[in-house]
Amino acid sequence: MKVIVVLVQNHGFASIGALSEELGVQRFGTRYRYRDAGSGRLDGGLLPIDLAANAESLGVRVLRAKGIDDLRSALDDARRHEGGPVMVHIETDPLVPAPGSGSWWDVPVAEVSRLDSTREARATYDANKADQRPYL
């Protein structure tokens, strides 16, 4: 089956961790680091995560783009590709934020916690949730 996946690699696992922190709660499962030999904690260097190599290991043809011109060319190649799934992979700068939308992102916060920061974040979440209106 022909499927084209475009992976804009912004290392979003770090982005969602930053979102958690902005909401007043701690990161969970978004810091992929080596274990420090001295401390025994997972606070060593960053683990290299190559989602394109992972896709290739599963038999996906991966086209790596290194800029906008490469991206356009890779998209054309992906459209012409026959014989299974294809991924167009492009790295982006994780420090360049997306433009603001003025919207509220519904990211639930734990209802029960011993941490003051989490309880305060939950109160803010509940207040924002009360203002949320469905459009369907």
The structure's pTM equals 0.64
Q: Say if residues 34 and 26 touch (Cβ distance below 8 Å).
A: no
- Range among 22-31, 78-87, 105-114, 123-132 rated most confident: 78-87
pLDDT value of position 69:
95
pLDDT (0 to 100) of residue 12: 67
| Nearest Cα to Cα of residue 75 among 4, 3, 129, 2 | 4
- Residue 19's pLDDT is 74
Whole-number percent of the chain with pLDDT over 70: 93
130 pLDDT above the threshold of 70 = yes
> Measured between alpha carbons, how far is 1 from 70 in angstroms, rounded to an integer?
25
Q: In degrees, to the nearest 5, what angle opens at C-alpha 66 toward C-alphas 62 and 72?
A: 75
Whether 7 contacts 90, CB under 8 Å = yes
Percent of the chain with pLDDT over 90: 40
Tens of pLDDT, residue by residue over 8-58, are 887 766 667 777 777 777 776 777 889 999 999 888 888 888 999 999 999
Phi, psi of 20 (to 5 degrees): -55, -45
Of 132, 134, 110, the closest CA to residue 24 belongs to 110
pLDDT reported for residue 3: 95
Mean pLDDT of all residues belonging to the chain: 86
